[in-house]
Amino acid sequence: MISIIKSKKILRRFFVGCISITFWICVWQWAYLAVGEEILVVSPLEVLNRLGVLLRHWSFWMTVILSMFRILEGFLLGIFLGTGFAILTEVSRVGSALLRPVIGIMKATPVASFIILALVWMKSSQVPVFASVLIVLPILWANVSEGIRKTDRSLLQMAEMYRFGRVGTVKKVYLPSVLPYFTAACTTGMGMAWKGGVAAEVLSSLPLSLGGEIYRSKIYLETTDLFAWTAVVILLSVLLERAMLCAVKAAGVRFGFYSGEGYDEH
């Protein structure tokens, strides 16, 4: 019975998604007809045809793979640093005093400013990694810190009463409490890292990169290519967010941190 209900929800969600996508494609086509200038707006069919051409070139796949590698590298480094900083700020007053101002600066400073500074400090290929780290780190820090603070005190007292020890308390109390916050941070951070990383590629005019292709399309007024590469960026962002959510959820279920229920709506 439960599986039937879940199947109906999935089908309903798929149906609604198809209607939504169809509606916005129709709006896009209407905008194309209303403007009447292909240099400003191209039709969905032209973009689809251009994507078909791009998919047949090895350079397209190299561009996608290299951009994904750079941004995922920054994303994973941001997860590691953000989680570590969150633990330090919650367990140590000294760590909190030292790290909170730095994280506050990261949150307040526009990413474009960091990217421009990074272009002076490091190689162009390292700038997307750097930008992704700066975007992901504050998100992970804020969410993981919140998860640690919101841990049920009665459960901590029970763990102390039954002498779970530090490792047992972390595994059986803190991790189940923090994991939903961590999951939300990862899915949000992935999307933000992808946008920031591509923006860094645009500003650095990096060859064999999605941002570099977008910049080149803009310079030469190749609007069809601009729309096509933008569509690739959007599609990859959605796929990576879903993949990250599934990976974190699967890990949580595998190690018994939660049952997996209640996350499907994301």
Q: Taking the CA atoms of 197, 203, 204 and 207 in sequence, report the sign of the dihedral they define.
A: positive
Q: What is the mean pLDDT of the chain?
A: 83
List the chain domain ranges.
1-36, 44-254
Task: Report the pLDDT averaged over residues 13-39.
Answer: 85
**How many CB atoms are located within 10 Å of the residue 255 CB?**
12
- What integer pLDDT is reported at residue 263 of this predicted model? 45
Please compute the mean of the pLDDT values over residues 96-124 and round it to a whole number.
83
CATH class for the region spanning 44-254: mainly alpha
> Do 236 and 69 contact (CB within 8 A), yes or no?
no
The pLDDT of residue 60: 92
Token representation of residue 200: 């860094």
Pick the range with the lowest mean pLDDT from 14-23, 39-48, 213-222, 247-256.
247-256
Mean pLDDT of 204-228: 88
| CA 194/CA 241 separation, integer angstroms | 10
Question: Mean pLDDT across the stretch 243-259?
Answer: 68
Q: Give the pLDDT confidence score for residue 262 in this predicted structure.
A: 42
Q: Is the pLDDT of residue 184 over 80?
A: yes
What's residue 66's pLDDT?
Answer: 92
**Would you state the pLDDT for residue 261?**
46
Tokens of 236: 């990859």
pLDDT confidence band for 80 (50 / 70 / 90): very high
Specify the pLDDT at position 63: 92
Instruction: Please state, for a pLDDT cut of 90, what percent of the chain lies above it.
Output: 21
Give pTM, 2 decimals. Answer: 0.81
* Interval 137-156: pLDDT, tens: 999 998 998 888 888 788 77
Q: Give the SS3 label for residue 39.
A: coil
pLDDT at 221: 82
Q: What is the mean pLDDT of residues 163-183?
A: 81
User: Tell me, what's the pLDDT at 75?
Assistant: 92
Tell me phi and psi for residue 151, to 5 degrees: -60, 130
| pLDDT computed for residue 264 by the predictor | 46
